[in-house]
């Protein structure tokens, strides 16, 4: 079977699972913890992975399950979290005091129906796959309770999965409450579980905090389930990375690298050449045509679309941009919220700011800044210029050091430059101003009035030479 067909079948299977399992799903995301080890004024879940807050990653994969509701339990730095993520379609639930994971889930329960399945996720575990969660939800339907576990080389810090002699789950014991034998167990609790709402409500009511940390542990519901004859179905995560939480900046950087590596590999498999996949970052989404070549230390951010044969040189930062086929971006260029047409040549060291649109075959050279400007086909702005709020026609040549003076300190004005115009070096175009079609502007001019088409316009004081002038000499 071809890989493509296999992929498609996987997808159909997942869709089928989804309609079966997620119609009455409530997701609870625990995000109230302090995150002390981040050593940060910023709440942990607002720290970013691939440019997106950790909590937003979690909400995104929760949304992929198409649940009936998503509840985010927040607390520490709460207002900051809500403000920064106010665009998310979630129900915010305040946990004023962090009295444990069981207490955190309890805060959301009043808004959850007994007929719902509750999926508990952690706001600081950003890379869980939808397939894994669908699998977990599917298993929960068999008994009303399923739990995601993972086997780790070094399980220190995690709750251990204690199984009875028949292999069934018996309980979870936290690191600080575990015996020497139990500490040897490699299979650990990821914290992610799916449980039926009515059972959960009963068990949460019974939780007590008589443990080493004096907290209401959600994990204690496992023993209650066993007592009530509810078998806990376990699903094991394919990789540790998928269920890895972020506790400090070192772990965050490890997950960032793993995530970036996956994205880089996907792009390469889709036909992009990355000269070094370990020196490439995608913070958002990228669509690329055929035979795109990306040199080292390139960052793509937001939504980036690259046409066939686009080449991006080293150290470019490209954000929310479309770059059409055959265009070459030379090293150290920065492009933000712009559309670049086909067969253009940009950089090195070009800066293209929001609202800029280049048609085909434009050249923008070193130390040129463009902002909110349109440049038509074949025009060249090759050295050290600032062109802002301008409309530049086709085949225009803008000399070195030309500046559009678009701002009078209060308002911004447009500059219009007609097709085939030639603007000499070191000219200031004081907007609002228009340079006619085919006009020539002499070098070093300050143009404050419209320059007529097809004529030479210049503003320059007459050149004089002072006869007999001598340079001053140093006094002895």
Residues annotated as catalytic (active site), given as ranges: 383
Residues 220-259 interacting with ligand UD1 (rule: CB under 6 A): 245
Q: Does residue 25 contact residue 116 with C-beta atoms inside 8 Å?
A: yes
Is 286 among the residues that bind ligand UD1 (CB under 6 A)?
no
Region binding ligand UD1 by CB under 6 A among candidate stretches 1-9, 79-87, 94-102, 464-472: 94-102
Under DSSP, is residue 151 helix (H, G, I), strand (E, B) or coil?
A: strand
End-to-end, the C-alpha distance of the chain in Å comes to 94
Instruction: Determine if 126 is a binding residue for ligand UD1 (CB under 6 A).
Output: no
Q: Which stretch binds ligand UD1 (CB under 6 A): 24-32, 59-67, 111-119, 367-375?
A: 24-32
Measured from the CB of residue 172, what is the shortest distance to ligand UD1 in angstroms?
5
Report the C-alpha gap between 310 and 288 in whole angstroms.
9
Q: CB under 8 Å to 193, separation ≥6 — which residues?
A: 119, 120, 136, 145, 146, 147, 148, 218
Which of 32/352 has CB closer to ligand UD1? 32
| Helix (H) or strand (E) segment spanning residue 235 | strand 233-236
- Rounded to 5 degrees, what angle do the CA atoms 63, 66, 72 make? 45
Q: Which stretch binds ligand UD1 (CB under 6 A): 117-125, 126-134, 254-262, 428-436?
A: 117-125
Nearer to ligand UD1, 207 or 368 (CB): 207
Which residues in 227-246 contact Ca ion (CB under 5 A)? 245
Identify the residue among 26, 99, 338, 387 touching ligand UD1 (CB under 6 A). Answer: 99
Q: Is 191 in the site for ligand UD1 (CB under 6 A)?
A: yes
* Site for ligand UD1 contains 162 (CB under 6 A): no
Cis peptide bond N-terminal to 432, omega within 30 = yes
Q: Taking CB under 6 A as the rule, does residue 136 contact ligand UD1?
A: no
- The first and second tokens of residue 10, run together, are 């996987």
- The gap from C-alpha 63 to its chain's centroid, in whole angstroms, comes to 16
Give least dist CB 245 to Ca ion, A: 5
The tokens for 271 are 């036909």
Smallest Cα–Cα separation from 430: which of 453, 458, 403?
Answer: 403
Indicate whether 123 belongs to the interface with ligand UD1 (CB under 6 A): yes
Cβ atoms of 47 and 246 closer than 8 Å: yes
Residue 98 binding target from Ca ion, ligand UD1, none, CB below 5 to 8 Å by type:
ligand UD1
| Inter-residue contact 277 to 259 (CB < 8 Å) | no
Any contact of residue 124 with ligand UD1 (CB under 6 A)? yes
Q: Rounded to the nearest whole angstrom, what is the least distance from the CB of residue 26 to ligand UD1 in the complex?
A: 16
- Which residues, including other chains, have CB under 8 Å from residue 465's CB and lie 6 or more apart? none
Shortest Cβ 191–Ca ion spacing (Å): 7
Instruction: Work out the number of other CB atoms within 10 angstroms of the CB of residue 454.
Output: 12
Q: State the residue number with the nearest CB to Ca ion.
A: 245
- Write out the residues near Ca ion by the rule CB under 5 A: 245
- Write out the residues near ligand UD1 by the rule CB under 6 A: 30-33, 73, 95, 98-101, 103-104, 122-124, 158-159, 172, 174, 188-191, 217-219, 245
């Amino acid at each position: 079977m071809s890989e493509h067909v296999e992929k498609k079948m996987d997808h159909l299977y997942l869709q089928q699972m989804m309609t079966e399992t997620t119609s009455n799903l409530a997701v609870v995301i625990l995000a109230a913890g302090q995150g002390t080890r981040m050593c940060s004024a910023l709440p942990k879940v607002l720290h970013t992975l691939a440019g997106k807050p950790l909590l937003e990653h979690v909400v995104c994969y929760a949304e992929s399950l198409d649940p009936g509701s998503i509840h985010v339990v927040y607390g520490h730095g709460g207002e900051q979290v809500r403000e920064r993520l106010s665009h998310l379609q979630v129900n915010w639930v305040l946990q004023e005091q962090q009295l444990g994971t069981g207490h955190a889930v309890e805060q959301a329960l009043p808004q959850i129906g007994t007929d719902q399945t509750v999926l508990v996720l952690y706001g600081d575990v950003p890379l869980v796959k939808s397939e894994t969660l669908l699998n977990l939800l599917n298993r929960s339907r068999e008994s009303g309770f399923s739990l995601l576990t993972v086997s780790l080389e070094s399980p220190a810090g995690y709750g251990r999965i204690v199984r009875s002699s028949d292999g069934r789950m018996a309980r979870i014991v936290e690191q600080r409450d575990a015996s020497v034998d139990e500490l040897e167990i490699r299979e650990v609790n990821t914290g992610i579980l799916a449980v039926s709402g009515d059972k959960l409500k009963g068990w949460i009511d019974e939780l007590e905090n008589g443990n080493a940390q004096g907290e209401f542990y959600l994990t204690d519901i496992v023993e209650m389930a066993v007592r009530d004859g509810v078998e806990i179905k376990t699903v094991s995560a394919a990789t540790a990375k998928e269920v890895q939480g972020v506790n400090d900046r070192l772990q965050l950087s490890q997950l960032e690298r793993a995530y970036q590596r996956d994205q880089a590999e996907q792009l390469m498999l889709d036909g992009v050449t990355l000269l070094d996949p370990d020196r490439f970052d995608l913070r958002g989404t990228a669509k690329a045509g055929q035979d795109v070549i990306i040199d080292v230390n390139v960052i793509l951010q937001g939504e980036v679309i690259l046409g066939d044969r686009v080449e991006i040189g080293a150290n470019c930062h490209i954000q929310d941009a479309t770059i059409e086929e055959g265009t070459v971006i030379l090293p150290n260029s920065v492009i933000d919220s712009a559309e670049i047409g086909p067969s253009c040549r940009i950089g090195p060291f070009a800066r293209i700011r929001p609202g800029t649109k280049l048609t085909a075959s434009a050249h923008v050279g070193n130390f040129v800044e463009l902002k909110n400007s349109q440049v038509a086909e074949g025009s060249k702005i090759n050295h050290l210029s600032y062109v802002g709020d301008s409309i530049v026609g086709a085949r225009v040549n803008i000399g070195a050091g030309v500046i559009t003076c678009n701002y009078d300190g209060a308002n911004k004005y447009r500059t219009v430059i007609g097709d085939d115009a030639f603007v000499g070096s070191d000219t200031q175009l004081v907007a609002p101003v228009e340079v006619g079609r085919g006009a020539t502007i002499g070098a070093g001019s300050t143009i404050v009035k419209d320059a007529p088409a097809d004529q030479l316009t210049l503003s320059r004081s007459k050149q004089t030479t002072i006869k007999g002038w001598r340079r001053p000499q140093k006094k002895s």
